[in-house]
Chains A and B, each alone.
Chain A
């Protein structure tokens, strides 16, 4: 039971964590320009939070580990309009203890959509909206559950506000805030609301640190915990992530990030890291 629950929240977490946030920020990509962002993430978890937010220690020997790769591509159709496509690939190992494990792998949910810059505030700050479709790249079994995703199409609308920090806070610093609503087309949803806040500050000419804070809530009429992790649709968490970025050239940067989940409901208590490469072409 616990294992499946772990699987559920971890899967849901991964679907968020593997996304390289910085590239989803509301900064317009720019007409005719491309952004290619491959990323790799690792996540590990032994414990979790129950439906009341109580900490539950995992079973001895049980551990969920996940390795995932994601390719994000953005193309500037015009000065305001960008096309974005994101394709994840997952490899998950669920050690149940006593030598038993379940392995699942394959492409996850593709996210494809358009981002439109509604207002630019003197070319320093930008308010943008993004509308995306979510398409599972795997075939869900008859019972609708899959190790790779919820198995339903979905849609997301996201409002993004980002830009430069005032100079008195940090010269060449930046911020990004995103509020998103996502709906999976299923009678049980879920309806998901999320907030992401990011602040990035350069620490030297080519290096920066950034802090992301994600607050996530997924609502569903199906609040029953199910051993099948894909049936888990009602959960929440708060997640801070610290990143270090290095600019190798004007066209290539890399970010290393680490995160931890200090609080959640029906979700895993784990940690993870990511490596994100950003190519501006």
Chain B
């Protein structure tokens, strides 16, 4: 009897482990945010390149290695060519190489693609298969030593004074907070409040405050919105008060500014004093004002973290830079970072994407509008120029395939951050997003930094 039990004793965890590994493998095959089906998954010949480093980041002086799995999904023998093209992230060709391909039907093979170590930076690599009756290309990006990426700051001489003056103007606007409990949206575990306040230029902005009923005082998750994104009550967290603000022109803050994504970032782009983002940045500060003036709602003002993705990532960084009431900063794929280099990188895209798709279109149809004029305004708003002012701990997530926020620009921004406690997470197969692993880690990171269970 005891022998059997002892056998079971060791077999059981082995079975569980095997199951877990299997489950993990299956999970890895199924992305958390499924992307549209791609040619590589359904084609006659499928290429699956995997970088030697899990996150697609290589060290300085490290050989660049990809394992390329080639699968022939047809019944017939195929012959042709496998090649790869390596370029900088601005499209400059660095290397092209190819090998002969011969593969039986319904079979797969692997080849190792090795390249000499590369200088600091990000690189695009395209893997191509060409046969007489089939062509396909799979594009990847890898980074080398990104923590050493340096970019030039184009900070106007009166940058600090400009934002100091903006804060003065904001402070002159009486907030006139209105906090209304929304019983229709509340649950037995959380109270939901709609919050309204007056902000820069006396515009009314609104947000959502969600307070767990289970406790008296909570740290705060202050979320700022993506580009013309409507934030709704965040019911996800049991351990944080969630405050989601809709800056002007977003969500339920469209009383005065209500324009679409094509023009939002162009409102008064030719006038640095009236550019829409001046008010937007100040809206984020006004949201902080609200939090810090409502401790009576259970807000732990010593534990406020600001978070956002894309435009929200930029807004989060700027909020943390301008206001030391923010204790932690987490951002994903921060938009508009290192706008000068972003322009150079985006110039190499076959098809333009946001934000330079919008800026270039504006430039095309406004003959008097020069790029110097654009930077004359935007240099006051480039998140990179705020980065040295960030002193609190920072976590950033980036997607290597992101064209909206090229990885080099995000890392340049990151490297300008003054904080000595900063980390980044690189998701190799993501475009303008991160994955669930990032958010799981972010959750642990926040608890670690705030020392909360």
Interface residues of A (CB under 8 A from B): 30-33, 53, 79, 121-125, 127, 159, 161, 163, 177, 179, 193-195, 197, 205, 215, 217, 236, 238, 249-251, 263, 265, 280
Per CB-CB distance, the 9 closest pairs between chain A and chain B, nearest first, are A123-B440, A280-B453, A195-B9, A215-B9, A121-B24, A31-B448, A177-B13, A250-B453, A236-B2
Are A53 and B9 in contact, CB atoms less than 8 angstroms apart?
Answer: no
Known A121-B20, A123-B440, A215-B5; contact A32-B12, beta-carbon cutoff 8 A: no
- Shortest distance in angstroms between A147's beta carbon and chain B's nearest beta carbon? 27
CA gap between A210 and B377 in the complex, in Å: 61
Known A123-B437, A205-B189; contact A79-B444, beta-carbon cutoff 8 A: yes
Contacts A30-B444, A31-B448 known; list 14 others, CB within 8 Å. Answer: A79-B448, A121-B23, A122-B24, A123-B443, A177-B16, A179-B9, A179-B10, A179-B13, A205-B214, A215-B8, A217-B6, A236-B5, A251-B453, A280-B453
| Chain B residues closer than 8 Å to A121, beta-carbon distance | 20, 23-24
Are A195 and B20 in contact, CB atoms less than 8 angstroms apart?
Answer: no
In-complex Cβ contact of B451 among A32, A124, A177, A197 (8 A): A32
Known A159-B13, A195-B13; contact A122-B189, beta-carbon cutoff 8 A: no
Q: Provide the B1-26 mask, 1 if CB < 8 A to any CB of A, else 0.
A: 11001101110110011001001100
CA gap between A30 and B27 in the complex, in Å: 25
| Chain B residues closer than 8 Å to A217, beta-carbon distance | 2, 5-6, 9
**B residues 429-447 with Cβ under 8 Å of A?**
436-437, 440-441, 443-444, 447
Are A193 and B1 in contact, CB atoms less than 8 angstroms apart?
Answer: no
Closest residue of chain A to B6 (Cβ to Cβ) is: A217
B90 at interface by CB-CB < 8 Å: no
B239 at interface by CB-CB < 8 Å: yes
Q: Provide the B244-286 mask, 1 if CB < 8 A to any CB of A, else 0.
A: 0000000000000000000000000000000000000000000
| Chain A residues closer than 8 Å to B13, beta-carbon distance | 159, 161, 177, 179, 195
- Shortest distance in angstroms between A31's beta carbon and chain B's nearest beta carbon? 5
Q: Taking each of B1, B2, B16, B444, which has the highest tally of chain A beta carbons within 10 Å of its own beta carbon? A: B2
Q: Taking each of A31, A122, A238, which has the highest tally of chain B beta carbons within 10 Å of its own beta carbon? A: A122
- Shortest distance in angstroms between A173's beta carbon and chain B's nearest beta carbon? 15
B452 at interface by CB-CB < 8 Å: yes
Are B20 and A125 in contact, CB atoms less than 8 angstroms apart?
Answer: yes
CA gap between A197 and B440 in the complex, in Å: 25
- Shortest distance in angstroms between B434's beta carbon and chain A's nearest beta carbon? 13
**B residues 6-60 with Cβ under 8 Å of A?**
6, 8-10, 12-13, 16-17, 20, 23-24, 27
Known A122-B27, A236-B2, A250-B215; contact A127-B17, beta-carbon cutoff 8 A: yes
Are A263 and B444 in contact, CB atoms less than 8 angstroms apart?
Answer: no
Q: Provide the B213-252 mask, 1 if CB < 8 A to any CB of A, else 0.
A: 0110000000000000000000000010000000000000
Are B12 and A195 in contact, CB atoms less than 8 angstroms apart?
Answer: yes
| Chain A residues closer than 8 Å to B437, beta-carbon distance | 122-123
Subset of 13 A-B contacts with CB under 8 Å: A30-B444, A33-B453, A53-B1, A53-B2, A121-B20, A122-B437, A123-B444, A127-B17, A161-B17, A177-B16, A179-B9, A195-B10, A205-B189
- Shortest distance in angstroms between A157's beta carbon and chain B's nearest beta carbon? 14
CA gap between A237 and B432 in the complex, in Å: 56
Q: Provide the B342-358 mask, 1 if CB < 8 A to any CB of A, else 0.
A: 00000000000000000
Are B12 and A30 in contact, CB atoms less than 8 angstroms apart?
Answer: no
CA gap between A265 and B453 in the complex, in Å: 41
| Chain A residues closer than 8 Å to B215, beta-carbon distance | 249-250
Known A177-B12, A195-B9; contact A124-B448, beta-carbon cutoff 8 A: no
Closest residue of chain B to A265 (Cβ to Cβ) is: B2
| Chain A residues closer than 8 Å to B10, beta-carbon distance | 179, 195
In-complex Cβ contact of B12 among A53, A123, A125, A197 (8 A): A197
Closest residue of chain A to B216 (Cβ to Cβ) is: A249
CA gap between A177 and B15 in the complex, in Å: 11
Closest residue of chain A to B188 (Cβ to Cβ) is: A205
CA gap between A159 and B24 in the complex, in Å: 19
Are B448 and A32 in contact, CB atoms less than 8 angstroms apart?
Answer: yes
In-complex Cβ contact of B452 among A122, A125, A250 (8 A): A250
Are A238 and B5 in contact, CB atoms less than 8 angstroms apart?
Answer: yes
| Chain A residues closer than 8 Å to B436, beta-carbon distance | 122
| Chain B residues closer than 8 Å to A33, beta-carbon distance | 447-448, 451, 453
Are A30 and B448 in contact, CB atoms less than 8 angstroms apart?
Answer: yes
CA gap between A125 and B24 in the complex, in Å: 10
**B residues 296-334 with Cβ under 8 Å of A?**
none
Are A193 and B9 in contact, CB atoms less than 8 angstroms apart?
Answer: yes
| Chain B residues closer than 8 Å to A236, beta-carbon distance | 2, 5
Known A123-B437, A123-B440, A263-B1; contact A193-B448, beta-carbon cutoff 8 A: no
CA gap between A32 and B393 in the complex, in Å: 15
- Shortest distance in angstroms between B429's beta carbon and chain A's nearest beta carbon? 15
| Chain A residues closer than 8 Å to B443, beta-carbon distance | 123
CA gap between A280 and B239 in the complex, in Å: 14
Closest residue of chain A to B214 (Cβ to Cβ) is: A205
| Chain A residues closer than 8 Å to B6, beta-carbon distance | 193, 215, 217
| Chain B residues closer than 8 Å to A79, beta-carbon distance | 444, 448
- Shortest distance in angstroms between B94's beta carbon and chain A's nearest beta carbon? 35
CA gap between A125 and B21 in the complex, in Å: 10
Closest residue of chain A to B435 (Cβ to Cβ) is: A122
| Chain A residues closer than 8 Å to B8, beta-carbon distance | 195, 215
CA gap between A217 and B441 in the complex, in Å: 39
CA gap between A177 and B8 in the complex, in Å: 13
| Chain A residues closer than 8 Å to B441, beta-carbon distance | 123
- Shortest distance in angstroms between B28's beta carbon and chain A's nearest beta carbon? 9
CA gap between A150 and B452 in the complex, in Å: 39
